[in-house]
A and B are shown apart, each in its own frame.
Chain A
């Protein structure tokens, strides 16, 4: 009985805290289908749905904030929002500065996209978004790296011939190639990079991280996460 009262009290306390504290989620809003701005000017996409569901399960009041990719980590550690949910792969370098939840997408492949099939991606000029694992990979691969601030610009650079190919998450370039009417195509082999995508949190914010971690686990367990992945990235996308 005593235990029951105690747990009820803790539960009440926890939900009480959940309502009082608004958790601000930072995203880029320029990386469809992960996150983008829809015609209502609202943030939409895979991460919008995942984030809203996670907040519901963790009983948190969440609000979305758009921040450009370049300063997305500095603004997190400075406290302008409480979590990053922006297609950010879990890497060791980032883990030194911030903390990650467990991944909510399986480790995914990155792909090269070019205007012709005979591009040799190991020597060509490749565009990638700045401060991404793809940019890091290109820099190490021996190809010439050209960095851009937004994903959109990396694709535009291929189209206007500034670079030979763009290197990005397969899930980002695949729909673009498919809808380009043959102008753009995936070239070379797929490259598995990173440990999947996770939410980024301040290292001092262990409590919030635990809440999101638990919520992600429940979504993995009951299959809702897999359903969302299939919905946004197609049937052949990797699931948990």
Chain B
């Protein structure tokens, strides 16, 4: 259990946690921007916001992960190629091949494995953020609509501008409506992390398969198929993660409900009085 291979496997737990820690806020930001755009009075912006959440939510995750990442990677390399090698004689597309000059490679071929892995990881974060941002946009859009209109009108009656009512009244109050949907998304995001391997990032599920798989004499420690035990470990890991999240989210919910004109807020008021 202490070989380098096992240590790499254990560290992949942190890869997963790091991905969650970075992706969640970024996705929330994407969602917030998307939802705000979808509510905009400026039509093109509104269309953009609505299209984003409709299209990305409609495309199957796995297709998005396979297609979008390769396209994004090629897009970046294409741009770098145009900038760095303007007098390159050959075409970039040669039949099936996508060939850019070696200075335009992203990352460069000679950069270290760590750079390659970090680049792959960043692509993964971005892709996850775009996918989950679309769902979050829809949740937040609904939450913004759920804040009672009377609250906004009160703000307007006090002479607040649109911007002020949005930031001071709508945004602070919408979270309580958004939280059930967002917590759902968080749980799904946790479960979706094994998609990382599609992007070349080796996560815990990959390692459980790799370590647990049948090992013949070609390996230093031959053993039969132990995947069951490794997957039981995964089960414990993911259940612990989701259970912890649930506890934390319940606390946040209790805090947000406090003093709100919702059924939850009313229940909280009755419980304390």
Contacts and interface: CB of A to CB of B under 8 A. Distances in A.
A23 interface: yes
A40 B4 contact: yes
A36 B5 CA distance: 12
B87 interface: no
Contacts of A75: 70, 200
A117 B222 CA distance: 25
Given A37-B210, A77-B96, A179-B216, 9 more contacts: A22-B109, A36-B218, A39-B4, A75-B70, A77-B98, A80-B73, A97-B96, A156-B214, A205-B99
Interface in B28-54: none
A29 B200 CA distance: 13
A94 B95 CA distance: 14
A221 interface: no
Contact of B97 (A24, A45, A202): A202
Contacts of A176: 214, 216
Contacts of A66: 200, 202
B70 A152 contact: no
Interface of A: 20-24, 29-30, 32-33, 36-42, 45, 61, 63, 65-68, 71, 74-75, 77-80, 82, 97-98, 150, 152, 155-156, 159, 175-176, 179, 202-205
6 contacts: A37-B5, A39-B219, A41-B8, A45-B218, A78-B74, A175-B217
A78 B73 contact: yes
A38 B215 CA distance: 10
Return the 3 tightest CB-CB contacts between A and B, nearest first.
Answer: A152-B213, A39-B3, A22-B110
B230 to A, nearest CB: 12
A42 B3 CA distance: 11
A23 B110 CA distance: 8
A71 B74 contact: no
Contacts of B73: 78, 80
> By CB atoms of chain A within 10 A, which of B66, B216, B220 has the most?
B216
Nearest to A99: B97
A152 B98 CA distance: 32
